[in-house]
Amino acid sequence: MDLCAAVAGDVAIQPGETVLIPTGFAIELPAGYEAQIRPRSGLAAKHQVGILNSPGTIDSDYRGEVKIILTNFGKNVFTVKKGDRIAQMVIGSYTKIFWNEVESLSETARGAGGFGHTGTK
């Protein structure tokens, strides 16, 4: 779902600046669910504006106002107005896991190869 800015007046975000933008609402998620806050592709493509910690996570025990960490990665001032669609929110379930410390991990074809190792063979 789209999230809209609940700002009192226009908020100018300077190039390279990060601003916390209120949405005017809070949510109560059931245990086992999270909300992910994601950037809007139109803001990214047209204005180089995105979310600094994307995707942002809202835990089920958070009860405060949902706020969006908008960053202007562009070269021009970007202005947020009341009611502007500034982010998207997706609600999803997750599985809680418990860690087991082990001495070694099972072998795979990939092994410990990281960054750029998938699809190279």
CA–CA distance, 22 with 37 (Å, rounded to integer): 13
Note the pLDDT of residue 25: 97
Question: Could you give the number of structural domains in the chain?
Answer: 1
Which residue range forms the structural domain that includes residue 7? 2-93
Q: Which helix (H) or strand (E) holds 42?
A: helix 41-47
pLDDT score at 110 = 80
Q: Look at residue 35 and give its three-state secondary structure.
A: strand
Does pLDDT of 78 surpass 80?
Answer: yes
Task: Establish if 101 belongs to a structural domain.
Answer: no
| pLDDT score at 71 | 98
Residue 89: name the closest of 8, 26, 10 by CA: 26
What average pLDDT does range 66-80 have in this prediction? 98
CATH at 81: 2.70.40.10
| Over residues 62-91, mean pLDDT | 98
**Residue 41 falls inside a structural domain:** yes
> In this structure, is residue 54 part of a structural domain?
yes
